[in-house]
Structures are given as structure tokens and as C-alpha cells.
């Protein structure tokens, strides 16, 4: 395998009494897109901010581009590019001015014209920041992350709050960066985003890393089973659904029964028979192909999105 | 160095695109200018010259207001966060704010000086360079005060309240609105603890008495020392993130910014040098207006008129 451009060992970050990151370890190889997947408040942003040198860590070892983000933060900032969450630019700054301004801060620079072209902002070059749409602002944020031709990119929730169409636009941009062999560490709470964009994914919950691997690995690790979600007219006693044919795991999540089955057709037949015998009725039935959501449910007993 | 230069450039550009800046830093100063020189100064050279100092001081002192608001807004909106992840440092940002402020104040002040000469015939402006030096030093000092205000407040609302609380005594107790010599003795004594008083006095002495800038070394040295202290302090207290709250201990540290003018105030209250200077200036101003009074008296009390040309009513 390639070289690790980023290494994290037992990273801990506290805010007062709250432990936001509780001993997370992972590494990112050069040229890969690495995703931190988890619900809001899982500690993804805190992790990323420590790696960017924006926050001090409480313990653990961290190396980014061969530097310690805390000690060598100034040197590190020349090597990385970042699109942060909840950030903005001055309202009356023009698109081109923003790119030029930020480019001027770096030793290594990319041509702002080229970035405008590439991120579809050419027509907006003279627009004020407050005249841009949400998608355009996000494209500008990504373009600005590239002004110094960084070795490592951090995208923190790059599509949060964007509508689906704009989100797909951003996916295309990130996929293009991926084709260029850019190394990206991104965070997301969207499963499809992690599955579509990331070479490897670390699933994070409550400050802990609970699973790590390629999306395919993670899915097969969860047994390669199919998720069947059913709603019933009457509650079913705990555990009875687990005995149905082919079922490897069954849980109740907010009134929905989530079954994981190795043989879906058999499971459904035996489910229907079981319900008939019990005088219970199916209200709804959904079959989902294995996804990272299953991994999350299996590890935490909760859904990724509440 | 280049980060500092590009940030300064950006701040100037943004200010010129800001309607609030246009109103508070260009329109307002000229309202004060014409109001003070024309109305209070009775449009005569001596009167206009006397009030030019306070007008310039108001213009210069206003710098802390916009500066603190801008930095707090940048922090609240996450703009500072974006700079934080780039190689920009806190000192780049703070120093560029101060320098941009100076650069934005100098043209307005220069225009005011020019108009004072052309419209009000204030001919004691021999010391143009000296006045501009004072403007630059004053703007720097009060801009640094703005930096400290930005560091000790968390929200825009808090900033505006604190600005208001600081602004009112600064303008009313320092001679910037009412002449110091005209104020009650107690107020004069309090005024000697305010940096604004020294700025106003320095302007007046240089404009009215054509004093050399170097003769104002007390005022200059105290303002410069104060600026360095507040700048250093604001660097220590600087916060990039809106969520980072300021520790209570740090708020006490802010009291340290008052030290230079507390010491100078005690000294000046004993020597009364500044008070004497400002009283002399005020007396000169009054006698200059007095020389206008016969003409005034003529119309009010025609019976006593010395002027034979005036007709007394039967």
C-alpha cells in the first residue's frame, strides 16, 4: 500500500467535562478519499479540527503531512486545504477577490482562473459573496481549499444543508478530485455520500471509532445480509422475530422492526405465516440492500439519522 | 508581511463598499465639521480653529466603533475560522485592521483640514504634517481599543453596548463635545483620566497655538504606549471561534489597558498642565468671540450702540 499521509493514534479531545473524541485511531493513505461517517455530534468535526491544527488535542499522537498539527500548525497550513463547516466570507467580497486573497497567503499557489473554470464559477467571478446561492458558496469553498494545491484536503460535511441536486453537483466535483489522485479526508452523516465517494470509511459514534474499512468490506462484515423493515399493527414480543427463517438479527427501532436476513424470500414467507398465526398484520414492509446504515445499526442499535 | 498587506487591502476595499462605513466615517464627520466650525465656532477663523481639534478628535476616536463591530461580526459569521485554517496569524489580522483604519481616516481628515482653510479661513494650519501624524497616532490608539473591545465581547449586541458605554464619557468628558475649559472643575479632573482628553488637547495646541508636534510628547508618548499595550493584550485575548468564550480572568486583564491613563491622570491632576493649556485655549477662543460682540450688542441693545451708523428706534 501507499504511504500514510495522516496518522492518528488514540486521539482524545475534551471540552470541559465532555469527551468529544475518545481515543480514535486511523490513518489515511496518499491518494485515497477517506470518510468519517457518523451522526451529528459524533466527534467528526472535533477530530478534523484537531488534524487541521485549529484545536489542541488532549492526548494521543497525530501526524499530518509529517507534521504535528499543534506544534507545527503554521507549516502545516501551507500543506493542507480545507472546506470548513459553518464558515463564511465577508458579504461584499467578490468571488475572484476571495480566491486571489487566499492564494496570496500561500507559498505554493494555483492559478485562480483555472479554479474558477473548474468549479463552474466563471460567470460569478465578480459577484459578491452574499449574492451566491448555497451551492455556489460551497463550490467556492471547495475551490478555495485548492488555492495552495494542497497535499491533503479536509472537507467537513461538504454537502450538509444543500438540496439533492446541488449535492450531486458537489459529488461530481469530489469525484473529479478523486480521479486526480487528491488525498481527501471528509466527514459526512450521509450514507450514500460515504458509499459513493469514499475509498475507506471510519464509522464514528459518541467519539469512538466503531468500524473501519472499505464500504464493501463493512457491508460484508455486517453479514452481507438484507435489511427488511416491517411495521406491524400490534407489537410483537421481543425476540420472536429472531426465530424466523434466515433471520440473523432482529431489533426494534422506534416502532419499526428491523430484520437482517441471509435468505430474504424465506424470511418473508415465514414472517407472513407467523403473523397470520398470531393474528397480527403487516402495516408496511421495506427491503433494503445492504448499506453502511446496517453496519451502524448493528454496532450501535440506533439509526444513523434520528 | 504579504499576508498583512493583502488583508489591509481587503479591509479597505470592504469598508468602501459598506454603507455603514460611508455614513459613520464620511457623512457624520462632515456633519460635525460644519456644525462645530460653522455654528459653535461662529464661522470666524479663531472659533473654527478652536473647534477643529474636537472635530478631528471625534473623527479619529470613532475608529474603535466600526473596528470592534467588524471583528466581532467576522467571528460570529465564521469568517475568522476560514482565515484560521489558512496561514494567516492573529497579528496579521489585527495589525491589518488597525492600518486599514488609519488609511481610511487620513483622507477624510485631510479633506476636513482643506475645507477648514478654504471655507473657514483657519490659517493656523501651518503644521499639516504634524496634524496628520497626530491623526495617525490617535487612530492607531483608538483602533487598538476597538481590538480589545472585540476580544472581550462575545456577540454583536454586547459589543454595541460596550462601545456605547465607552463612547459617551470619551466624547462628553474630554472636551470633544463641550470645551474642557467650559466644563465644571470636577468633570475636568475626571477628564484627565481619559485618553480622549489628551488627543483633543494635542490637536488644539497644534492647530490653535501652532505648537510643534514634538512639544506634544506627553500626549503622543502616552497614546503610543497605550496602543502598544492594548494591541498586545488583544493579541493575547484573540479568539477565532465564536464558541470560544473569554475566560473571566482575562476580563480582569483588560483593566490593565486603563493603567497608562490612570497614571497620567494622577500626574496631570497634580501638575494641571493640560488643564491650564486647555483653559488658555478656551479663554483665547472666548475673547476672539468677544471681539465680535460689539456688533452683536449693537442690534440687541441699540440704545447703547457705539456705532453711529445704527439707528435707534424712537
pLDDT tens, N- to C-terminus, chain A (306 residues): 468 999 999 999 999 899 999 999 999 999 999 999 999 889 999 999 999 999 999 999 999 999 999 999 999 999 999 999 888 999 999 999 999 999 999 999 999 999 999 999 999 999 999 999 999 999 999 999 999 999 999 999 999 889 999 999 999 999 999 999 999 999 999 888 999 999 999 999 999 999 999 998 888 776 678 888 999 988 888 678 888 888 888 888 888 898 888 888 899 999 999 999 888 889 999 888 777 888 888 778 787 764
ipTM (interface predicted TM): 0.86
Is A295 a member of any domain? Answer: no
Evaluate whether residue B301 is within a structural domain: no
In a domain, B304, yes or no: no
Report the number of distinct structural domains present in chain A.
2
Contact between residue A173 and residue A139 where contact means Cβ atoms under 8 Å apart = yes
- For residue A258, is it within any domain? yes
CB B131 within 8 A of CB B207: yes
Q: Are strands A33-37 and A200-205 parallel, antiparallel or unpaired?
A: parallel
- Total domains present in chain B: 1
Residue A297 belongs to a domain: no
pLDDT at B300: 44
Q: What pLDDT does B293 receive?
A: 60
**CATH number of the CATH domain containing A231:** 3.30.70
Residue keyed to cell 456705532: B307
Beta-carbon-side half-sphere exposure of residue A235 (alpha carbons within 13 Å): 8
Question: What integer pLDDT is reported at residue A218 of this predicted model?
Answer: 86
Q: Which of B2, B89, B241 sits opposite A104 (nearest CB)?
A: B2
Place of cell 462575545: B154
What per-residue string of b and e applies to A265-302 under the rule 16 or more CB within 10 Å gives b?
eebbebbeebbeeeeeeeeeeeeeebbbbbbbbbebee
Question: How many other CB atoms are found less than 10 A from the CB of residue A224?
Answer: 13
pLDDT score of B242: 86
Q: Are B210 and B127 in contact (CB under 8 A)?
A: yes
Chain A contact present for B14, CB below 8 A: yes
Instruction: Calculate Rg over the CA atoms of chain B.
Output: 22
Q: How many CB atoms lie within 10 A of CB B296?
A: 12
Whether residue A230 sits in one domain with residue A101: no
Contact at CB, B89 and A74, closer than 8 angstroms: yes
Asked if residue A68 and residue A18 are part of one domain, the reply reads yes
In a domain, B72, yes or no: yes
pLDDT at B292: 67
Q: Which pLDDT score is estimated for A305? A: 66
Same domain, A67 and A189: yes
A128 and A254 within one domain: no
Are residue A215 and residue A236 in the same domain, yes or no?
no
Same domain assignment for residues A133 and A255: no
- Asked if A117 and A135 sit in the same domain, the reply is yes
| Euclidean distance between CA atoms A29 and A106, whole angstroms | 24
Per-residue pLDDT tens for B290-310? 776 655 444 444 444 444 444
Q: Name beta bridge partners: A284.
A: A231
Query: Sheet harboring A80-83: ordered strands across?
Result: A80-83, A152-156, A183-188, A33-37, A200-205, A208-213
What per-residue confidence (pLDDT) applies to B1?
Answer: 52
**Whole-prediction pTM value?**
0.86
Calpha distance A128→A130 (Å, rounded): 5
Please indicate if any CB of chain A lies within 8 Å of the CB of B74: yes
Residues A245 and A165 in one domain: no
Residue A299 lies in a domain: no
Nearest to A155 by CA among A168, A169, A170: A170
Say whether A82 and B17 touch across the interface (CB within 8 A).
no
Q: Decide if A77 and B10 are in contact by the 8 Å CB cutoff.
A: no
Closest A-chain CA to B243? A15
Give the domain-ending residue among A219, A249, A272.
A219
CB atoms within 10 A of CB B7: 23
Task: Say yes or no for a CB contact (<8 Å) between A88 and B77.
Answer: yes
- Give B39's DSSP letter: I
Q: Is B84 on the interface with A (CB under 8 A)?
A: yes
Interface test with B, best of A50, A70, A88, A93 (most B CBs within 10 A): A88
Residues A163 and A284 both lie in one domain: no
State the residue range of the domain holding A16: 4-219
Residues A120 and A179 grouped into a single domain = yes
Residue ranges in chain B modelled with pLDDT below 50: 296-314
Parallel, antiparallel or unpaired: strands A208-213 and A80-83: unpaired
Cβ of A87 within 8 Å of Cβ of B6? The answer is no
- What is the CATH number for A167? 3.40.50.300
Does B299 reside within a domain? no
Is there a domain that residue B161 lies in? yes
Give B243-271 pLDDT, tens digit per residue: 887 777 777 778 888 888 989 999 988 88
Amino acid at each position: 500500500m501507499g504511504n500514510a499521509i495522516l496518522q492518528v493514534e488514540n486521539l482524545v479531545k475534551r471540552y470541559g467535562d465532555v469527551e468529544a473524541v475518545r481515543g480514535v485511531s486511523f490513518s489515511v493513505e496518499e491518494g485515497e478519499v477517506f470518510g468519517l461517517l457518523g451522526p451529528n455530534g459524533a466527534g467528526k468535526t472535533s477530530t478534523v479540527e484537531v488534524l487541521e491544527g485549529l484545536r489542541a488535542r488532549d492526548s494521543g499522537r497525530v501526524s499530518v503531512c509529517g507534521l504535528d498539527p499543534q506544534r507545527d500548525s503554521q507549516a502545516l497550513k501551507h500543506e493542507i486545504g480545507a472546506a470548513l463547516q459553518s464558515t463564511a466570507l465577508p458579504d461584499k467580497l467578490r468571488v475572484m477577490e476571495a480566491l486571489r486573497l487566499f492564494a496570496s497567503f500561500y507559498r505554493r499557489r494555483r492559478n485562480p482562473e483555472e479554479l474558477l473554470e473548474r468549479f463552474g464559477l466563471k460567470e460569478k467571478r465578480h459577484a459578491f459573496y452574499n449574492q451566491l446561492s448555497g451551492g455556489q458558496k460551497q463550490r467556492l469553498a471547495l475551490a478555495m481549499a485548492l488555492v495552495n494545491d494542497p497535499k491533503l484536503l479536509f472537507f467537513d460535511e461538504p454537502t450538509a444543508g444543500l438540496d439533492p441536486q446541488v449535492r450531486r453537483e458537489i459529488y461530481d466535483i469530489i469525484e473529479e478530485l478523486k480521479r486526480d489522485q487528491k488525498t481527501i479526508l471528509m466527514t459526512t452523516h450521509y450514507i450514500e455520500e460515504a458509499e459513493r465517494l469514499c475509498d475507506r470509511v471510519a464509522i464514528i459514534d459518541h467519539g469512538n471509532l466503531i468500524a473501519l474499512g472499505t464500504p464493501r468490506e463493512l457491508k460484508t462484515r455486517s453479514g452481507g445480509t438484507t435489511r427488511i423493515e416491517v411495521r406491524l399493527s400490534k407489537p410483537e414480543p421481543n425476540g420472536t422475530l429472531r426465530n424466523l427463517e434466515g433471520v440473523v438479527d432482529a431489533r426494534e427501532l422506534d416502532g419499526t422492526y428491523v430484520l437482517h436476513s441471509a435468505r430474504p424470500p424465506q424470511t418473508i414467507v415465514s414472517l407472513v405465516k407467523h403473523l397470520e398465526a398470531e393474528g397480527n398484520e403487516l402495516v408496511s414492509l421495506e427491503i433494503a440492500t445492504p448499506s453502511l446504515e446496517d453496519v451502524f445499526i448493528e454496532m450501535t442499535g440506533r439509526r444513523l439519522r434520528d | 508581511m504579504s499576508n498583512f498587506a493583502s488583508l489591509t487591502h481587503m479591509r479597505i476595499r470592504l469598508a468602501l463598499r459598506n454603507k455603514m462605513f460611508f455614513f459613520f466615517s464620511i457623512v457624520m464627520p462632515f456633519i460635525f465639521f460644519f456644525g462645530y466650525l460653522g455654528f459653535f465656532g461662529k464661522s470666524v477663523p479663531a472659533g473654527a480653529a478652536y473647534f477643529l481639534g474636537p472635530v478631528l478628535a471625534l473623527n479619529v476616536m470613532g475608529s474603535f466603533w466600526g473596528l470592534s463591530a467588524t471583528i466581532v461580526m467576522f467571528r460570529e459569521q465564521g469568517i475568522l475560522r476560514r482565515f484560521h485554517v489558512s496561514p494567516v496569524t492573529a497579528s496579521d489580522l489585527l495589525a491589518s485592521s488597525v492600518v486599514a483604519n488609519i488609511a481610511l481616516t487620513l483622507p477624510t481628515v485631510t479633506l476636513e483640514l482643506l475645507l477648514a482653510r478654504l471655507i473657514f479661513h483657519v490659517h493656523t494650519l501651518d503644521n499639516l504634517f504634524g496634524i496628520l501624524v497626530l491623526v495617525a497616532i490617535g487612530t492607531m490608539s483608538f483602533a487598538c481599543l476597538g481590538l480589545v473591545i472585540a476580544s472581550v465581547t462575545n456577540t454583536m449586541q454586547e459589543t454595541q453596548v460596550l462601545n456605547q458605554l465607552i463612547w459617551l464619557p470619551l466624547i462628553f468628558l474630554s472636551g470633544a463635545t463641550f470645551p474642557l475649559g467650559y466644563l465644571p472643575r470636577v468633570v475636568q479632573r475626571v477628564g484627565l483620566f481619559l485618553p480622549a482628553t489628551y488627543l483633543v488637547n494635542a490637536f488644539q495646541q497644534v492647530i490653535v497655538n501652532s505648537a510643534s508636534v514634538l512639544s506634544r510628547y506627553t500626549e503622543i508618548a502616552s497614546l503610543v504606549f497605550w496602543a502598544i499595550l492594548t494591541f498586545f493584550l488583544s493579541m493575547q485575548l484573540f479568539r477565532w471561534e465564536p464558541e470560544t468564550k473569554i475566560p473571566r480572568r482575562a476580563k480582569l486583564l483588560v483593566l490593565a489597558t486603563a493603567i497608562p491613563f490612570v497614571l497620567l491622570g494622577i500626574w496631570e491632576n497634580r501638575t494641571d498642565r493640560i488643564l491650564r493649556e486647555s483653559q488658555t485655549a478656551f479663554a483665547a477662543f472666548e475673547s476672539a468671540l468677544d471681539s465680535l460682540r460689539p456688533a452683536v450688542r449693537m442690534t440687541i441693545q441699540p440704545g447703547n450702540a457705539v456705532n453711529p451708523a445704527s439707528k435707534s428706534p424712537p
